[in-house]
Amino acid sequence: MQKNNKSLFRYPLLGIALLISSSFLALSVAPTIAGVTFKPPGAQAPKRSSGGASRDGNLCGFATQATTSTSVTPLIPTTNIGYTVAERPTIFVYIPTTTAKTALFTLQTEDSKYSYRTNLSLPNKPGVMQVKIPASVPALKTGKNYKWSLVIICTEELEPDSPWVSGWIRRVEANSSLTTQLNKPVSLDLISRLAETGIWYDSLSNLAQLRRSQPNNPALNEAWEGLLKSVNLSAIANAPLIN
């Protein structure tokens, strides 16, 4: 009987041991899956490029609020240019708490011809705002540079010192392997692949899409923070997506 009693305990204990070991395995694998690091392709924005917000923090009520950042901040690599394989990429900008209600968004070719121009409503709380280029706008041409700008309208009209940011986009062709992945459902594997090959705008927009569909997934939040920190945007890495 004593031998039989020992066998009764053997298998439950084995199951518990396996459960504990698998839990540790899951914990060790999760950071690797969630890690997304951008590797810049080495491209530089055109030399005439300039960008940044107005240095007057009192404009639009920015300086009067205790926010993560008091500056309008474009989500873009430090080179001020990002690649995309999309015909009409999505642009992201951090908007601090502000008294302003609207902004002017423009998209221009490298020779300063407007492709798109519109007024946008600003969110009523600080966070990362996305700007989608509508289907009515001509598709970006492969190999060409485009400049986008966002100007905060603090008064009834635009002022010379209105806060503004800008960045550059270059559309590139996806190779056959990446094209195959792009035709599948969005995943962290795809986003990691895009980031590793220097496709900034698409890695960011696909990750934002995943975060909205799974807001309570900590791996996606970790991936977002890692992606922003890899391009020196740690100050706004925890800012919420607000539209």
Residue 123 has pLDDT above 70, yes or no: yes
CB 152 within 8 A of CB 60: yes
pLDDT grade for 142, boundaries at 50, 70 and 90: very high
Mean pLDDT: which of 3-17, 136-150, 177-191 is highest?
A: 136-150
Domain borders along the chain are: 59-236
CB 203 within 8 A of CB 228: no
CATH superfamily of 59-236: Macroglobulin (MG2) domain (2.60.40.1930)
**Tokens (6 digits) for 21:** 């070991």
Report the percentage of the chain scoring pLDDT > 70. 77
Indicate yes or no: pTM above 0.85: no
Residue 12 has pLDDT above 70, yes or no: no
Give per-residue pLDDT as tens, 89-115. Answer: 999 999 999 999 999 999 999 999 999
Place of tokens 């908007």: 95
pLDDT of res. 163:
86
pLDDT of res. 26:
33
φ and ψ at 3, to 5 degrees? Answer: -65, -40
Residue 41 has pLDDT above 60, yes or no: yes
Q: Average pLDDT over the chain, rounded to whole?
A: 82
**Three-state DSSP class for residue 173:** coil
Residue 147 has pLDDT above 80, yes or no: yes
**Tokens (6 digits) for 62:** 């920015």
Query: Which of the 8 DSSP states describes residue 216?
Result: T
Kindly give the interhelix angle for 218-229 and 188-196, rounded to the nearest 10 degrees: 10
